[in-house]
Structure 1
Amino acid sequence: MLSSCHCLGCKECCERCVGSLPWASLIATILLYMGVALFCGCGHEALSGTVTILQNYFEVIRAPGETLDVFTIIDILKYIIYGLAAGFFVFGVLLLVEGFFTTGAIRDLYGEFKVSACGRCLTAFLMFLAYLFFLVWLGVTAFTSLPVFMYFNVWSMCQNTSLVEGANLCLDLRQFGAVTISEERKLCTGSEKFFKMCESNELDLTFHLFVCTLAGAGAAVIAMVRTIILISDWLWASRKYCYSSD
């Protein structure tokens, strides 16, 4: 490719190099990174804000020993977020490398479009991983919508309390499964802590962080769909060369 660029001018060489980049794979990878980064960063901070709200306004404390309480579940979710961030960073690099090796630059470098059976199998395996991660992100998106729904209910209660005078509303953590049935952790509109929670920055910030987390999960789903389409198109285009040599 460098030898051919010597015969061209600077403008033509740059146009050829830019035109041979795998723009579709590059955009899908950037969208995947943005979605995962938004999900992991906002999700981590939203979980930390949830811990602050539970401790400051509901007076929920950590259970002694190794009891599986809401704080332990939050810590587990944080570790899952760390794993997702590391895993999808590696997966994004693999997708980008796959995009470069299946773009027009490689075809120009090696002449005719050739692909081995081994390369086709590796690409099919990558497509299988992309489809598996797509299903995973669908589940993550559905799971992330639950705290958004919960915080929206809390926000609605705060709005209704300020609009309707004399409204008697209570927020019970047992309804959300945050505490056991035997524990009674609730806030009613007549309490001072309820008004402090509604006026606090923690509630508003945590709610918007969960919304951004949901948006990041949705962006990752779109990136996975785009990746599956790209890989399947390449496999379909190279089907008649599956027994060609490199």
Structure 2
Amino acid sequence: MGLLECCARCLIGAPFASLVATGLCFFGVALFCGCGHEALTGTEQLIETYFSKNYQDYEYLIDVYGGHREGGGLAALLAVALPWLTPVTASPSVLVPLGWHGEVHPDKFVGITYVLTIIWLLVFACSAVPVYIYFNTWTTCQSIANPSKTSASIGTLCADARMYGVLPWNAFPGKVCGSNLLSVCKTSEFQMTFHLFIAAFVGAAATLVSLLTFIIAATYNFAVLKLMGRGTKF
């Protein structure tokens, strides 16, 4: 076999969709975990400075980040293993010269991928919540900065962290109103945290897209194996 023909056979059997999804998964997990961690750290600082001095009021934010980080680790592990499932079905002869041997179970990968996709779908939905809260706060600040665009009194325009469940109802003061709120929105901490949450949201979306791609690849492999009646040992 010539070198050119060998390369052609390798390229034909390469799992391009899974490899692209792998890169997207690593990118999404890194973006979500990194930006999410920094955004939660910035949020804690904003809460401690303007909304509540009691650490126990926002302690659960750390637990939320811990859960997101574990979900990111599971998705990253899947990204390492799953791309090599595709060429086993599509062109197993490509892997034999490369020293591949063993047994794979695409049905198990399908199940694992479905579970992780559901988890990341929840993470994606949860990551939209802080973006929504910060956007509402930013919108309120715009109304305070342009009082002619609203009929409400500036003093009644507030950002209440308690109404979103960020703080318990007994937290004090729990909210910032009027010109004080406008000052908060103008701080670099608020602006940076807002953009970091948006980046974390994009990372969660990218990870979810990559997992959906994995589902398509793994389901296709499993269906082909069943249709052709082929074993999975090489």
Which residue in the other structure is 1:204 paired with? 191
Pair 152,13 (structure 1): closer, same or farther in 2 beyond 3 Å? same
Which residue in the other structure is 1:66 paired with? none
1:123 maps to a residue whose letter is P
1:98 maps to a residue whose letter is L
Counterpart Cα distance in 1 of 2:163 and 2:182: 20
Pair 237,22 (structure 1): closer, same or farther in 2 beyond 3 Å? same
Q: Give 1:156 deviation, angstroms.
A: 0.4
1:225 maps to a residue whose letter is L
Counterpart Cα distance in 2 of 1:235 and 1:11: 31
2:119 paired with 1:132: no
In percent, how many aligned pairs have the same letter?
Answer: 30
Gaps of 5+ in 2: none
Counterpart Cα distance in 2 of 1:152 and 1:160: 12
Q: Give 1:88 deviation, angstroms.
A: 2.2
Map 1:177-216 onto structure 2 (within 5 A).
177-183=165-171, 184-191=173-180, 194-216=181-203
2:229 paired with 1:241: yes
Map 1:1-246 onto structure 2 (within 5 A).
4=1, 8=2, 10-63=3-56, 69-70=57-58, 72-104=59-91, 106-108=92-94, 119=104, 122-164=105-147, 167-168=154-155, 169-183=157-171, 184-191=173-180, 194-239=181-226, 240-242=228-230, 246=234
Structure showing greater radius of gyration is: 1
Q: Give 1:74 deviation, angstroms.
A: 1.4
Q: Give 1:100 deviation, angstroms.
A: 4.0
Secondary structure at the aligned position of 1:161 is classed as helix
The alignment's TM-score, normalised by the length of structure 1, stands at 0.81
Secondary structure at the aligned position of 1:98 is classed as helix
Q: Give 1:86 deviation, angstroms.
A: 2.7
Counterpart Cα distance in 2 of 1:108 and 1:96: 14
Secondary structure at the aligned position of 2:55 is classed as coil
Counterpart Cα distance in 1 of 2:5 and 2:230: 33
Instruction: Indicate if the aligned counterparts of 1:26 and 1:99 stay in contact, CA closer than 8 A.
Output: no
Gaps of 5+ in 1: 64-68
Counterpart Cα distance in 2 of 1:128 and 1:197: 46
Pair 57,245 (structure 1): closer, same or farther in 2 beyond 3 Å? closer
Instruction: Indicate if the aligned counterparts of 1:44 and 1:81 stay in contact, CA closer than 8 A.
Output: no
Counterpart Cα distance in 2 of 1:245 and 1:83: 32
Q: Give 1:135 deviation, angstroms.
A: 0.9
Secondary structure at the aligned position of 1:177 is classed as coil
The alignment's TM-score, normalised by the length of structure 2, stands at 0.85
Q: Give 1:19 deviation, angstroms.
A: 3.5
Deviations 1:181-227 (A, max 9, x none): 23332111143xx2321110111111111111111111111111111
Instruction: Indicate if the aligned counterparts of 1:32 and 1:220 stay in contact, CA closer than 8 A.
Output: yes
Q: Aligned Cα RMSD in Å?
A: 2.4
Q: Give 1:82 deviation, angstroms.
A: 3.0
Q: Give 1:243 deviation, angstroms.
A: 5.5
